[in-house]
Structure 1
Amino acid sequence: MGAMDPLASLPAEIKSLIAMDMLNSDPPEHTKRRKRLAPAFTGRKIATLRPLVSGIVDEIIDALDGRRDVDLVEMYASQVSVRVLAEIVGIAAQDLENVRSWSDTFVKELLVVSDSLLDATRSLLGYCYELVARKRAAPGDDLVSQLVSSFDTADQAADDELASTVFILLIAGQTATAQLIAKALALLLTHPTQLEMLRAEPALISSAVEEVLRVSPPLSISGFRLTTEPVTIAGTTIPAGEIVICSLDDANRDETRFVAPGEFDVRREDNQHLSFGHGIHRCLGVHLARLEAEIAIGELIGRFPDARLAIHSDQLTWVERGIMRTLEALPVHLRCPTSVPVSAAAGQ
């Protein structure tokens, strides 16, 4: 990609594997790789996972039920996403914490290229190769086993493609989904009128999740794209061979596209945001992300009607680097007689 390559500082073996995933490939390679995964992520297939997701959410909420003060990032959103992912992909319980830690570090440090990023990336890629080998030796009823079986041969090229695919699945299915749930809860807790509206009308949960995706998307930027020829946009010409990164935050608040784009409105109907991408690179996991978010948010606000932020909204900690704006913690009183003042600006 040249000197402006965002991955230029990564070791060659890491960069090459990341570059071959679906996000960074074009047809015909992209078409072939997406075709292997697509059957597992259809709307009909994901709908069958509702009992599984609901059961996991209920277990986690039951564990929180006796507590007064919790961090909903660490103890809820992250737990929901990693446990659902583990069931689908086929990850052993003892591996969950490492997978979560490596994935979170990758997302936060990708554009920084720190020592912790290199260590986490090597560890996660190594784990992906080990998982592929494990499922080839002892296949189960999980997604990685299905992917392994879709290859006619077991060679290094197949292993590289499989490891690259599993790598992106683990990151997108864990950290991005956890942040979607956490940001949704932060927005609702800092917009009490919208929260009460959703509690009064649970059927609004779908439009509420879409509004969260618009206002505070899991990823702040699009995937990296490279111009193959000069492109002129709004009077500015981008030469061939340049990296192009689009701001999802700005696109989702386009005043020419959305009415009152700065407002958080769980009733918003015309909401064609770009948080899942567009075209052939539209996120394959859209149905799963929506299902997890709708169940996790709906169940929590239903079980704890008095939940309030334990700190002022201005004290929430956000990490503004990498490829996503990350909410570090969401301290909440699950049961309390009075509320802490909140600000409608939190989470935006």
Structure 2
Amino acid sequence: MRTQAGDHQVLEAVTATAEGQRRDRYAALGAAGPVHRLRLPNGVPVWLITSHAETKRLLTDPRIVKVGPEQAPYAHRLPPDVARGIYHHLLYASPPEHTRLRRLVAKAFTRGRVDGLAPRIEETTHRLLDEVAGADVVDLIPALAYPLPITVISFLLGIPRDAQADFRAWTAPLIAPEVAGYDTYAASARTLLTFLRQLIAVKRREPGEDLLSDLVAVRDGEERLTEDELTSMLLLLVVAGHDTTVNLIANGVLALLRHEDQRALLAADPDRLANAIEELLRYDAPVHNTVPARATEPVEVAGTTIEPGDVVVFSLLAANRDPDQFGEPGQLDLSRDCGTHTAFGHGIHYCLGAPLARLEARIALGALLDRFPRLSLAVPADTLTRKPSMTMNGLTALPVRLRGS
């Protein structure tokens, strides 16, 4: 059975950049059925899963596995040492390799370590807000949403402060390889990989009280991370660990500014903030698609057979707007019980950094709304744009008036 989308329709939501357009296109696909045969903009045919129930079911189905590092962007064009050094991480691994990698990283990336970052996050948030307090209009992405996560992840990993300014230029092409093109992507990957290898060498000679030092030393019996696994996991933590949080903060602020009733609800009861973060994650997820996976055996989805070798992508944004799971999914409702959302994935591939992203968003949004209770958009919402990306659902800018219009 083929779905209404047909074999030749391109997944346009990947390149949709107008505010609201991406969500609308995924909602339309979800309304048409739970599974769709589409092509990505790069020509690769995929099965796109839009149903919440099927997404959660298949993300735990052992017949659906990651495509592997050999299918990563430009894997066959990159110099072999570069490909090995950036693609041997959790997003391209399946059990038993995934189990081994996650166990090793989890030994160093503990909940206690994350919770211990709260004072640093609070101090950084207030410093960033102090720096813009005298302004009328600011772009919240370079003012708060970007520098907070990169400062925190750099502190966590032990990355020198003077290197942080380079990270945005290095990582931007890695987030959207289909937009950057091979030459830009390869140059950024090579530069970042060289930096990470040098940083690892420093931590081996002079270990500190940071996550990277612990990752270099972590063992599970005779198991430890190889050099390529170390650089790959670092790249994943830096790229996914900060860009996801950038999107969560910016998307969350935009959603609240566009829904004054919900913002007022939160202002009247700040204790709602933790639950509000969950609804903001559901409403406008920071990641709209998963990294591709593939079927190893025939898999049935709503009368459609996904054949062995077929590529599968899960639309987290569509799953979180599934009306079979969430009543009136297009409405922002901070009182909603939405603990089943899939914004951070599900099963063995559930995001390892989710607790840190939640903590940063809770502190950042709480401080921002408390400091500037009359915060408002400085431009019409429909003039805002999204970055073209296969995975990340982020705004290009978020101009706001700190004291209202």
One-letter amino acid of the structure 2 residue matched with residue 11 of structure 1: L
Structure 2 equivalent of residue 145 of structure 1: 213
Q: Which deviates further from its counterpart, 200-209 or 294-303?
A: 200-209
Verify: 1:168 aligned to 2:236, yes or no.
yes
1:278-333: CA deviations, max 9, x gaps?
Answer: 11111111110100000001100110011111101011121232321220100011
Verify: 1:98 aligned to 2:166, yes or no.
yes
Residue 114 to residue 314, structure 1, CA distance change in 2 (3 Å)? farther
One-letter amino acid of the structure 1 residue matched with residue 73 of structure 2: L
1:110 Cα offset (Å): 4.7
SS of residue paired to 1:141: coil
Structure 2 equivalent of residue 247 of structure 1: 315
| Cα pair 1:56 1:80 within 8 Å, conserved | yes
Residue 236 to residue 292, structure 1, CA distance change in 2 (3 Å)? same
1:10 Cα offset (Å): 4.4
1:124-170: CA deviations, max 9, x gaps?
Answer: 22222122112112211110011111259xxxx82111111111011
Structure 1 equivalent of residue 78 of structure 2: 11
| Cα pair 1:42 1:287 within 8 Å, conserved | no
Structure 1 equivalent of residue 297 of structure 2: 229
Verify: 1:84 aligned to 2:156, yes or no.
no
Residue 273 to residue 223, structure 1, CA distance change in 2 (3 Å)? same
Q: 1:125 aligns with which of 193, 200, 225?
A: 193
Q: Which deviates further from its counterpart, 285-294 or 230-239?
A: 230-239
1:112 Cα offset (Å): 6.0
| Cα pair 2:295 2:309 within 8 Å, conserved | yes
State how far apart, in whole Å, the 2-side matches of 1:39 and 1:190 are: 41
SS of residue paired to 2:388: strand
SS of residue paired to 2:176: helix
Verify: 1:68 aligned to 2:110, yes or no.
no
Structure 2 equivalent of residue 52 of structure 1: 120
State how far apart, in whole Å, the 1-side matches of 2:137 and 2:206 are: 42
Q: 2:252 aligns with which of 184, 187, 190?
A: 184
Q: 1:22 aligns with which of 90, 97, 100?
A: 90
Q: 2:344 aligns with which of 262, 268, 276?
A: 276
Q: 2:107 aligns with which of 14, 29, 39?
A: 39
| Cα pair 2:108 2:211 within 8 Å, conserved | yes
SS of residue paired to 1:325: coil
1:5 Cα offset (Å): 4.1
Residue 111 to residue 225, structure 1, CA distance change in 2 (3 Å)? farther
1:173 Cα offset (Å): 1.6
State how far apart, in whole Å, the 2-side matches of 1:214 and 1:239 are: 30
Residue 120 to residue 316, structure 1, CA distance change in 2 (3 Å)? same
1:60 Cα offset (Å): 0.9
SS of residue paired to 1:332: strand
One-letter amino acid of the structure 2 residue matched with residue 124 of structure 1: L
Residue 11 to residue 275, structure 1, CA distance change in 2 (3 Å)? same
1:21-72: CA deviations, max 9, x gaps?
Answer: 1111122221221112213444343222211111111111111112111100
| Cα pair 1:180 1:217 within 8 Å, conserved | yes
State how far apart, in whole Å, the 2-side matches of 1:12 and 1:255 are: 46
Q: TM-score, normalised by structure 2?
A: 0.78
One-letter amino acid of the structure 1 residue matched with residue 368 of structure 2: L
Verify: 1:321 aligned to 2:389, yes or no.
yes
| Cα pair 2:173 2:180 within 8 Å, conserved | no
Q: Which runs of 5+ in 1 are unaligned?
A: 339-348
Q: 2:264 aligns with which of 173, 176, 196?
A: 196
1:200-224: CA deviations, max 9, x gaps?
Answer: 1111111111111111111111122
Residue 239 to residue 39, structure 1, CA distance change in 2 (3 Å)? same
SS of residue paired to 1:324: coil
SS of residue paired to 1:84: helix
State how far apart, in whole Å, the 2-side matches of 1:235 and 1:318 are: 34
Verify: 1:311 aligned to 2:379, yes or no.
yes
One-letter amino acid of the structure 1 residue matched with residue 78 of structure 2: P
Q: Which deviates further from its counterpart, 163-172 or 10-19?
A: 10-19
Q: Which deviates further from its counterpart, 140-149 or 99-108?
A: 99-108
1:115 Cα offset (Å): 2.5
Q: Which deviates further from its counterpart, 280-289 or 60-69?
A: 60-69
Structure 2 equivalent of residue 342 of structure 1: none
Which runs of 4 or more aligned residues in structure 1 lie more than 4 Å from their structure 2 counterparts after TM superposition?
none
State how far apart, in whole Å, the 1-side matches of 2:107 and 2:267 are: 34
One-letter amino acid of the structure 2 residue matched with residue 34 of structure 1: R
| Cα pair 1:77 1:179 within 8 Å, conserved | yes
Structure 1 equivalent of residue 370 of structure 2: 302
Q: Which deviates further from its counterpart, 300-309 or 224-233?
A: 224-233
| Cα pair 2:289 2:313 within 8 Å, conserved | yes
State how far apart, in whole Å, the 1-side matches of 2:93 and 2:214 are: 22
1:109 Cα offset (Å): 2.8
Residue 158 to residue 6, structure 1, CA distance change in 2 (3 Å)? closer
Counting matched residue pairs gives: 333
